[in-house]
Amino acid sequence: MQLQDLLYGVAIKSLVGKPNQEVKALAFDSREVKAGTLFFAVKGTVVDGHQYIAQTVAAGAVVVICETMPAKVDSQVTYVEVESSSAALGMVASNFYGNPSAQLKLVGVTGTNGKTTIATLLYQLFRGLGYGVGLVSTVQNHINDTIVPATHTTPNPIALNQLLADMVDAGCEYCFMEVSSHAVVQHRIVGLTFTGGIFSNITHDHLDFHHTFDNYLKAKKEFFDGLPKNAFALTNADDKNGMVMLQNTKAHKKTYALKQMADFKAKIIENKFSGLHLNVDDMDVYFKMVGSFNAYNLLAAYATAILLEQDRLKVLTVLSSLHGAEGRFDYIVSKQGIIGIVDYAHTPDAVQNVLSTIANIRKGTEQVITVIGCGGDRDRTKRPVMAQTACDWSDKVILTSDNPRTEEPQAIIAEMEKGVSPTNQRKTLSITDRKEAIKTACHLAKPGDIILVAGKGHEKYQEIKGVRHHFDDKEVLNEQFNLIN
C-alpha cells in the first residue's frame, strides 16, 4: 500500500525523504521488521522504541514514524515526524486493513468490572439471533464460531485491525469488544469507528499504570469523548461516575439502572444459586446468571440490543438462556454437596460483589471459605484491600499466589496480610502454593460449605518469573472434589 494512503488522517509535523513509498508491512517492534516495513518508534513503559530506528532501517524498513527525527537519516527511507507515534499507529493500522471497523457495527465496552461479561453476552446474544458476529475479549476472540486466542483485553492496533478485517471477510455484521483503560491511553483504539460505547462501572484498579483515580476516570471518559455523533453512549446511571462518562460525548446519551431513573430499567425479584429473576422493561424474565452485578451486565446487554434495533421479546428469550463468560461465577458441586465457585474477581469491588452475592443467597449455616491472591507487577495498593474484603465476607480465608510475574509470591502475600485486622487473623491462613491452598480449602470444607477461588477465572496458567505454567483453578477444584468423594 502507498504511504500517502496510509497517512490519511494522521497529523504530520514534518516529513523527510520521498513522500511516497510502497509499504508491505507494519511493525512497532524492531524484532519484526523485514524488507518493505513501516516501523513505528513508540515510547513505552520500559524502553523507547526510537533507540531501534537505525536497526530497523538496516533490517529493511522503508518508512519510520517517530516523535523525534533521528540525527542521521538514510536517503532511501522516509521519516515522518508526528506528535504521537502510538496514535499514528492506530490510524495507519486502520487504513492498512481497509478501515474494517467502519464496515462492522462495532460496540466497545469499558469499565473496571463486567467488560468481558457484557461483551461475551452480546456476542452470544447476537449469534443466537442469527447474525455473523465477532468478539474481542480477555478470555478469547471470536470470528463467528472460530476462536482466536487472546493476548490482551484490547489487542495492539495491528492485531486488532487484522482481527476486525478477518471478521469483515467472514461476513460478520457486528463486533463487540472490550476497551481497556490501557488501550485508550496507549491509543490502541485510535482510527476505529464505533457504533456504540457501553460503560459498566469504575472502582479501584490499575493505579500502578494510571497513578491516580482521576487519570483512570479520564481514560475511560476519553473513549466516550471520541464517539461519533451518530453512535450511542450507554452508561450505568447507578454508578457514581456513570454520568461523568457522558459529559462531553457527541453520541446519543442513554442510561440503564436498577436504582435510578433511566432509559432502560430492571428490578431484581429473586437472586438465587439457580439464577436471577428480573423484571426488565416491565417483563418478568428468569436468567441463568447469578448475582446482582450480573443483573447490571444483563441489562447493559439488553439495552444495547434494543439500541441496535433488535426485537425485545427475541432478545430476552435468547438472553435468558445464556451463561456468560468462562470463569465468572463458574460453579461446581461435589458429590458431598460442597459448592466450589471459580470467579475472576481481581479488584476489591469484584471481591465484595461476588462475596455479597454468596452471602445473599446462602442459607446461613454453611461456611464460606475464600482462596485469594493478587497479581504481581500490578497495582500494589489493592492488595491489603482485597484481603480485608475477603476476610470481612468469609468465615475462612486462605491467602495465596495469583500470577506473581516478576515479584516474590511471599512478598505479595505479606502486602495482603497488612489488610487483615487482628480480629480477622484467626480465620486467615497463608499458603503460597495455589494448588495446596485450594486443596486445604477442600479439606476444611464440610457438606454445604461454599469455597470461592478468586482472581484467575478462565486463566489456564500461572505466570512465574516470565514463564507460564499450566494452572486451572476449576481443574484443581474438580480434582479435589473427586478425591474427597
Ligand X SMILES: CC(=O)N[C@H]1[C@@H](OP(=O)(O)OP(=O)(O)OC[C@H]2O[C@@H](n3ccc(=O)[nH]c3=O)[C@H](O)[C@@H]2O)O[C@H](CO)[C@@H](O)[C@@H]1O[C@H](C)C(=O)N[C@@H](C)C(=O)N[C@H](CCC(=O)O)C(=O)O
Ligand Y SMILES: N[C@H](CCC[C@H](N)C(=O)O)C(=O)O
Q: Which of 95, 297, 389, 403 binds ligand ATP (CB under 6 A)?
A: 297
Whether the Cβ atoms of residue 67 and residue 81 lie closer than 8 Å to each other: yes
Site string for ligand Y, 117-156 (x = CB under 6 A): ------------------------------------x---
Kindly determine how many residues on this chain lie close enough to bind ligand Y according to the rule CB under 6 A. 9
In the chain, DSSP finds a helix count (H) and a strand count (E) of 15, 24
CA separation for the pair 134, 124 (Å, rounded)? 10
Please list, in sequence order, all residues whose beta carbon lies within 8 angstroms of the beta carbon of residue 300, skipping any fewer than 6 positions away: 109, 114, 118, 198, 200, 234, 236, 256
C-alpha–C-alpha distance, residues 263 and 249, integer Å: 17
Give just the sign of the alpha carbon dihedral 438, 440, 443, 445: negative
- Shortest distance, CB of residue 458 to ligand ATP, whole angstroms? 8
Residue 154 contact, options ligand Y, ligand ATP, ligand X, none, Cβ 5-8 Å cut-off depending on partner type: ligand X
Residue 357 in the binding site for ligand Y (CB under 6 A): no
Instruction: Kindly state whether residue 116 participates in binding Mg ion, applying the rule CB under 5 A.
Output: yes
| 24-32, 113-121, 230-238, 276-284 -> range binding Mg ion (CB under 5 A) | 113-121
Q: Is position 154 an interface residue for ligand X (rule: CB under 6 A)?
A: yes
- Pick one of 254, 346, 383, 474: the residue that binds ligand Y (CB under 6 A): 346
How many residues sit in the footprint of ligand X (CB under 6 A)?
Answer: 19
- List beta partners, residue 285: 278
Q: How far apart are CA 133 and CA 137, in angstroms?
A: 13
Residue 132, exposed/middle/buried by CB under 10 A (0-12, 13-18, 19+)?
middle
Contact between residue 452 and residue 371 where contact means Cβ atoms under 8 Å apart: yes
User: Whole-angstrom Cα distance, residue 385 to residue 373?
Assistant: 12
Nearer to ligand ATP by C-beta: 356 or 424?
Answer: 356
Taking the complex as a whole, how short is the minimal distance between the CB of residue 191 and ligand X, in angstroms? 15
Nearer to ligand ATP, 105 or 378 (CB): 378
Q: Rule CB under 6 A: is residue 123 a binding residue for ligand ATP? A: no
* Stretch in the footprint of Mg ion (CB under 5 A) among 176-184, 185-193, 296-304, 403-411: 176-184
Binding mask 152-171 for ligand ATP (x = CB under 6 A): -x------------------
Under rule CB under 6 A, residue 30 binds ligand X: yes
Report yes or no: 213 and 207 within 8 Å, Cβ to Cβ: yes
Residue 141 interacting with Mg ion (CB under 5 A): no
Under the binding rule (CB under 6 A), the answer on residue 108 touching ligand ATP is no
Residue whose C-alpha is closest to residue 342's, from 183, 474, 149, 209? 474
For residue 106, how many other CB atoms are within 10 A of its CB?
Answer: 25
Interatomic CA distance for residues 259 and 121, integer angstroms: 22
Contacting residues toward ligand Y, per CB under 6 A = 153, 346, 375, 378, 402-403, 455-456, 459
Contacting residues toward ligand ATP, per CB under 6 A = 111, 113-117, 138, 153, 178, 200-201, 293, 296-297, 328, 343-345, 349-350, 353-354, 457
Q: Which residues are annotated as a binding site?
A: 30, 111-117, 153-154, 180, 186, 188, 378, 402-405, 455, 459
